Amino acid sequence: MVHTYGPHIFHTDDESIWSYVSKHGQMMPFVNRVKAVSGERVYSLPINLHTINQFFGLSLGPAAAQALLQSKSRSDISDPQSFEEQALKFVGDDLYQAFFKHYTHKQWGRSPADLPASILKRLPIRFNYDDNYFNHRFQGMPKDGYGAIVASILNHPLIELRLGEEFRRDDAQAPHIFYTGAIDRFYDYCFGRLAYRTLDFEVFRTDGDYQGNAVINYCDSSRPFTRITEHKHFAPWESANFSKTICYREYSREAQPNDTPYYPVNLVAGENTLPKYMARVREETKVTFVGRLATYRYLDMDVAIKEALEAARAWIEMQKHNT
Ligand code: UDP
């Protein structure tokens, strides 16, 4: 199984979303344990007690490691706004330079000083040896892939699926539209294009095991890519059968008009275009915008699903109310 759009690990703290997804596909146990290469050394990620000890060449316990990072943290930053301020306050300059600064620059094409602190807050920092990349209670990998889950969701007597049709904003047959495409596209780019990052995957195949892990991040500036994904490690229940392996080298760049948009680009200072589209969104009564592209937010899969279900329920309630 290959993650065509880059590594997607399903994780959530919300039991109802976990059971919704599990109802539509068998979730196999999987815990994402990412490794990081920086300065030609391999470290544990997210930053945890092992990373701190590896990086500083020490054997500290939790309290001593916390004290060490406190001594390195920029205590003069009281209310961090940018990614950079948040990182310097959390972990200090050494770890920021090694793990965050260059990866973030490669990923977003912008200085971490211009990106919001919320991006860094996605990553936990731990003073124990827990190297689970996520903090959530539920985590797994769909045995038959995400496509099978979506197919199961769509397999409903009230859903008719039509593919390859031009989307029309003013479709008279649709009493209500739930729109999941890019928000600027919905309005025919009338206020200009919003910024998105797209990804290029350089696919390579080798014999055996290439890197011994599903995801390895390349955090310094010596390589132009952000990470390498070795897909068979996402499916350990079947990968033992494979003598060959498929990997993706992942490169991020600014999306051009015909590229697939992956990440909305939020900035600390904001910009002028998004509020104009959002003002139009607030005027809509027959359209609901859901998902990462339509709400222009860095949503994870579980939040996108949760908000979509809430939007559907709210609409059903409204229908009941109106009749
Ligand atoms: N990040 C980083 N170094 C890493 C991993 C992540 O600086 O080794 C930063 C980077 O800015 C990235 C953000 O943290 O965009 C969120 O990381 P995550 O792994 O959640 O990114 P995703 O898998 O959504 O691309």
User: What pLDDT shows up at residue 172?
Assistant: 76
**Residue 140, CA distances (Å) to 154, 219, 248 in order:** 21, 25, 20
Number of neighbouring beta carbons within 10 Å of residue 284: 13
Element (H, E) at 54: helix 49-56
**Residue 143, CA distances (Å) to 119, 138, 222, 248 in order:** 29, 15, 36, 20
User: What pLDDT shows up at residue 242?
Assistant: 83
The rounded Cα 194 to chain-centroid distance in angstroms is 19
User: What pLDDT shows up at residue 277?
Assistant: 97
- Give the type of residue at 278: M
Instruction: State the number of CA atoms in the 13 A half-sphere of 256 facing the CB.
Output: 2
User: What pLDDT shows up at residue 147?
Assistant: 96
146 Rama sector, left if φ>0, alpha if ψ -120 to 50, beta otherwise: alpha
Of 20-34, 59-73, 210-224, 308-322, which range is least confident?
308-322
- pLDDT tier at 322 (50, 70, 90 boundaries)? confident
DSSP state for residue 305 in the 8-state scheme: H
- pLDDT tier at 301 (50, 70, 90 boundaries)? very high
Q: What does residue 317 show for φ and ψ, rounded to 5 degrees? A: -60, -40
Element (H, E) at 201: strand 196-207
Domains and CATH numbers, the chain: 1-34+133-156+196-264 (no CATH), 47-122 (no CATH), 162-195+266-322 (3.40.50.720)
The catalytic position among 43, 250, 263, 302 is: 250
Locate the ligand 1 atom nearest the alpha carbon of residue 219 and give its number.
Answer: 8
Q: Is 197 a catalytic residue?
A: yes
Q: Is 298 a catalytic residue?
A: yes
What's the whole-number mean pLDDT along residues 312-321? 92
DSSP strand E in 5-52: where? 10-12, 27-29, 35-38, 41-44
Q: Please tell me the residue having the least CA distance from ligand 1 atom 22.
A: 7
> Ligand 1 centroid to 76 CA: how many Å?
25
Q: Is 122 a catalytic residue?
A: yes
Which residues approach ligand 1 with their CB closer than 6 A? 36, 45, 99-100, 103-104, 107, 119-120, 122-123, 217, 219
Q: Please tell me the residue having the least CA distance from ligand 1 atom 12.
A: 104
Q: Is 307 a catalytic residue?
A: no
Distance, first Cα to last Cα, the chain: 47
- pLDDT tier at 94 (50, 70, 90 boundaries)? very high
User: What pLDDT shows up at residue 42?
Assistant: 98
User: What pLDDT shows up at residue 240?
Assistant: 74
Q: Please tell me the residue having the least CA distance from ligand 1 atom 19.
A: 123
For the stretch 22-55, pLDDT in tens is 999 999 999 999 999 999 999 999 999 999 999 9
What CA–CA distance (Å, rounded) separates 10 from 133? 12
- pLDDT tier at 119 (50, 70, 90 boundaries)? very high
Angle at 246 between CA 241 and CA 252, to 5 degrees: 150
For the stretch 181-187, contacts whose Cβ atoms lie closer than 8 Å and that sit 24 or more positions apart, written own/partner, are 181/293, 181/294, 182/261, 182/293, 182/294, 183/277, 183/281, 183/289, 183/293, 183/294, 183/295, 183/296, 184/273, 184/277, 186/287, 186/289, 186/294, 187/277, 187/280
Whether the pLDDT of residue 241 is over 80: the answer is no
- pLDDT tier at 260 (50, 70, 90 boundaries)? very high
Percent of all residues in the chain with a pLDDT value above 70, rounded to a whole number: 100
For the stretch 155-180, pLDDT in tens is 999 999 999 988 888 877 888 999 99
To the nearest whole number, what is the mean pLDDT of the chain? 95
